[in-house]
Amino acid sequence: MKRKIFAVLFLLLAFCVQPLSQNGIKKKRPLPYEYGRVVIDNYSEKADIAPVVFEHWIHRSKFTCRVCHVDVGFAMKAGATGITATDNAHGYYCGTCHNGKTAFQSCTRKTSVEDMKTCQRCHSYGLRVASDYDFFKFSEPLPKERFGNGIDWEKSEQLRLIKPATFLEGVSTQRNPLAVQKDFSLNAKVEGMPDIIFSHKKHTVWNGCELCHPDIFVGVKRGTTHYTMVDISQGKSCGACHVTVAFPLTDCQRCHSKPV
């Protein structure tokens, strides 16, 4: 009898899952300088130091996505890489460039009081730390975009206002140039919504192949994977980038752009 009661209650609870979900609420739109902010706290708080705040926008203007996410090896989700101070001090991950020569030293082996200021350049969560780069000055000359950072990164690169590096000496493997990938369209499946034009060419210029395949896009045959906006808004497929770092999903027309 008890088992039956538990079974009934369990089934009732299972039916009630929908109201417990977080759909149907308008989320806060991050400010242009906040967009792409990643907070990393695998070990910082345990080591009694403020968690790391990483702003994408400054690195994005200097490097392609591939350099960090393929060549250096950062994961695509906060905390998933497992960066430690030791890794940085040995010249990996952040320490690949933040080695005191290419850029300021990250995670020195021995820290003194003077070093704390450098530590706080990254370990700044909850602290009021003046940034070395001013977002307003940085973004002022760049072409504007509606959402995200408010910067049209694509156009900025076309106009050569930013020149993201594609190769890191001693880190990146010397590759042959990638053959131009064809763009293709995806059926929107919703009446009245323009079809999606996916620019494979643009994406491969910044990401290469291995950033997306097969981790983010597993399907090998076009038309076999079923993408939905719900999945994408939860960070799957396109949502791996286009929720937190690349232009957000509110910019519908950027993808749904096939002339009707």
Partner 1 sequence: MPTYSKRKGTRRSEHWRHIIKLAGELYLLGNLAVAQIYLPKAPPPPADYGRIVFNSTSKTGPGPVIFDHWLHRAKFTCRVCHVDIGFAMQANATGITATTNHEGYHCGACHDGKRVLDGKVIFASCSDGPEEKSCDRCHSIGTSNVRQYDYDTFTSKFPKGVYGVNWELAEQTHVIQPIDFIDGLSMTGASLKNRKDFVVKPAYSWVHPIAFSHEKHTIWNGCELCHPDIFPAAQKGTVHYSMFLNIEGRYCGACHGKVASPLNNCQKCHPNAPPWAQ
Partner 2 sequence: MIKGKLAVALLLIGSSGLYILPAIDAQEPSAPQAQTPRAGWQKEFDDVCSKTDDAMTFSQDELSDLVRRCDTLLPQIDKLDESRKKVYSGRLRMCRGLYAYVLEAKRNEKK
Residue 215: Cβ within 10 Å count? 11
179 makes contact, choosing from partner 1, partner 2, none, with CB < 5 to 8 Å by partner type, with partner 2
* 119 token code pair: 């530590």
CB atoms within 10 A of CB 258: 14
Q: How far is the CB of 112 from partner 2 (least distance, A)?
A: 17
Partner interacting with residue 99 (select from partner 1, partner 2, none; CB below 5-8 Å by kind): partner 2
Nearer to partner 1, 168 or 197 (CB): 197
Report CA-CA distances (Å) from 116 to 39, 61, 113, 126, 192.
Answer: 19, 27, 5, 15, 56
For the purposes of burial, counting CB atoms within 10 Å of the CB of 197, is it exposed (0-12), middle (13-18) or buried (19 or more)?
middle
- Interaction partner, residue 116 (partner 2, partner 1, none; CB < 5-8 Å by kind): none
User: Smaller CB distance to partner 1: residue 5 or 113?
Assistant: 5
CA atoms within 13 A on the CB side of 221: 1
d(CA 65, CA 42): 22
Stretch that binds partner 2, among 29-37, 45-53, 86-94, 188-196 (CB under 8 A): 86-94
Question: Could you tell me which stretch among 53-61, 84-92, 192-200, 246-254 binds partner 2 (CB under 8 A)?
Answer: 84-92
Closest CA to 205 of 181, 222, 185: 181
> Which one, 181 or 233, has the nearer CB to partner 1?
233
The span of 27-35, 113-121, 150-158, 173-181 binding partner 2 (CB under 8 A) equals: 173-181
DSSP characters for 156-207?
HHHTTS---B---TTTS---PPPPPPPPEEE---STTSPPEEE-HHHHHHHH
> Which residues of this chain interact with partner 1, rule CB under 8 A?
4, 7-8, 11-12, 15, 18-19, 23-31, 136, 144-147, 188-190, 192-194, 228-230, 232-233, 249-254, 256-257, 260
Where does this chain touch partner 2 (CB under 8 A) — which range of 83-91, 121-129, 146-154, 185-193?
83-91
Residues lying near partner 2 in the complex (CB under 8 A) are found at 70-73, 75, 81-82, 84, 86-87, 90-93, 95-96, 99, 109, 168-171, 173-179, 208-211, 213-215, 218, 220-221
